[in-house]
Structure 1
């Protein structure tokens, strides 16, 4: 199947409108991350320091299994954008950075490329620049199984992200909050996809009820993608003439809360949950290790990488990523963890709003501070 646009391809009116929306999203997301930011619930997770239990840095290997492939780092470039000339340049730089550092990478929603052949180039450049890396395609829930196969083929993708965004669709000026067929859509995509499917939120969290429902229809991977990072409710509200959904600020669950909820659900039985990734508000290597300690297999980073790549290109982002790789290794060694999996046994103290969440959800927060004793 050809994925290249024809020379005379013209965008449809709908695709042209989505192009403008994608430019708005990048502009508003960059503005959010450039402004002074308060804390988020990752700050409610503290590691208990054991002064004589560090391990040599050279003994640490934080490689993780992602979709049956070995990923050398436990964090990856999460989906951001694509579909326009400028976002295509961002995707090219992100792909180069992923290639040079060995990071896995996801792209932004590819729906526009299905409806406008000229937009496909902003996505296919990812595979051109990173021919052997681990690449995830991305499609919004509600598209057909045939569309899912097309975007996988377009990128020769190793996995497919299917994003669910009920809050965003509700607030988006041109949104389509028609949720009736979403579950059937995901089930059909999972059945038809030639690669593993990961279902992700866009920043409002996945509850245990949702995770169990996904597992029941065959979803093996999920990104809890909680609040605290790029706020798509705020982005869409800023695009509304009246900004009348501002009162919903803070809606949803954080990634740490989702991970703690999922761990409780897994312990209490009732079926297998998907393998969990985490994203949403990951600002630094310490947040990566916090997510791993709470049960994430791998950690997605978007907002913290957006400004470096937008302002300095691939070279600047490569240096940022290499620093993160060095720091995640060094911090894991300090915590006595030779592997990412061993971080799940680290003692962590859960405080503040996150502890209150635990109390309300029946989670024994104190047990996380005593894990090395077991």
Structure 2
């Protein structure tokens, strides 16, 4: 079995190796209806949002990726610098590596050192104890804790977990006993409304549906297997767009976050229009940092903010919640999914008329 530090390096390097700028996350199946009169000025927009009691100046953040080795410490320092300079929140990769091996703790604590006043989320896999959850938060002085769900990844991972029987109950205990908000997230396999109902039933309030279309951990773990490949699982799961549509019955009862294959500001706006409070980026930001460097990544993010203002204005939306009154047409395979699952996608295409926009 390879050391965990080697695995952490492999995860990040393979995420970049498999990165595709045009990978399908089904956002192309969502299209805004253009109305000619937006009746507002660009300077009337306010990009701020909030979830889990945390206020963010912008509706996107740097999602969980890295940590657990010397090289990923360098990656995390760069990501934290980007977060600091752009005012974005940032989540670390799974802190479980540091809980098992304190010698790699600095690959996570560097995030707080580089960004002492920013919003930082610690991250742990499901199946952890309340004690470990508190240790992870304390290590980073974190503002929130992400708990990630990754059953397909564990199944494909040669050294992965094989017992998932207590995940739900253990998450429930953590939610009840933590002093910081808990965000339950997928890792790129999407969520169903049944999953959301289960999470709601144990007291979870904030969920990142993290759909297929971005970093593919089944593909990454399959690549790491030396034999008995599990290629048949590389297309497992729901896309981000489909997962957001699955979440429609819960947008008023849960705080929904969106991630997985977010590559443009328009993807961010489409996510917000389907009820997401904010949007997480990982693979795209990682690609920018590794290939373009910190300064160019900061510049790209600043351009994203400007483009968000432009799209908000086109849609006549002053704040992100206004986007939930925009008209969104669902087409292609995403429409087929909605029909099979009896999701009322047609109502999304005429929301502004319903609200006398």
The TM-score bracket by the shorter chain reads over 0.9
Instruction: Report the Cα distance in structure 1 between the residues aligned to 2:175 and 2:346, rounded to whole angstroms.
Output: 38
1:365 to 340, 345, 353: 345
Offset of 1:266 from its aligned partner?
3.5
Residue of structure 1 equivalent to 2:198: 213
Shift of 1:243: 5.8
Q: Pairwise mapping of residues 152-163 of structure 1 onto structure 2 (< 5 A)? A: 152-163=137-148
2:10 pairs with one of 24, 34, 45: 24
- CA shift, 1:312, in A, is 3.3
Structure 1: give runs of 5+ residues left out of the alignment. Answer: 1-13
Is 1:71–2:56 an aligned residue pair? Answer: yes
User: Matches of residues 121-200 of structure 1 in structure 2 within 5 Å?
Assistant: 121-200=106-185
Distance in 1, Cα, partners of 2:234 & 2:126:
23
Matched, 1:298 2:283: no
Conserved 8 A contact 1:211-1:273: no
- The answer as to 2:259 corresponding to 1:279 is yes
Query: In structure 2, what is the Cα distance between the partners aligned to 1:114 and 1:249?
Result: 30
Counterpart in 2 of 1:4?
Answer: none
Q: How does 1:242-261 map to 2 (within 5 A)?
A: 242=227, 244-261=229-246
Q: Take 2:228 and 2:317, find their aligned partners in 1: how far apart are those partners?
A: 46
Show structure 2 runs of 5+ residues with no match.
none
SS in 1 for 2:323: helix
2:325 aligned with 1:340: no
- Mapped partners of 1:134, 1:176: distance in 2: 30
Normalized against structure 2, the TM-score is what? 0.96
Of 55-64 and 245-254, more deviation after overlay is shown by 245-254
Q: Deviations over 1:122-176 (max 9, x none)?
A: 1101111111111100001111110000010111111000001100000001111
1:62 maps to which of 33, 47, 50: 47
Q: Is the 8 A contact 1:54 1:335 kept in 2?
A: no
- Partner in structure 1 of residue 101 of structure 2: 116
The one-character-per-residue Cα deviations of 1:287-319 (angstroms, maximum 9, x if unpaired) are: 000100111111000111111111333212211
TM-score of the two chains, using structure 1 as the length reference: 0.92
* Aligned 8 A contact 1:54 1:334 in 2: no
Q: CA deviation at 1:367?
A: 1.6
Report the alpha carbon displacement of residue 273 of structure 1 after superposing the two structures with TM. Answer: 3.8
Moved over 6 A (4+): none
Question: Which range moves more in the overlay, 315-324 or 159-168?
Answer: 315-324
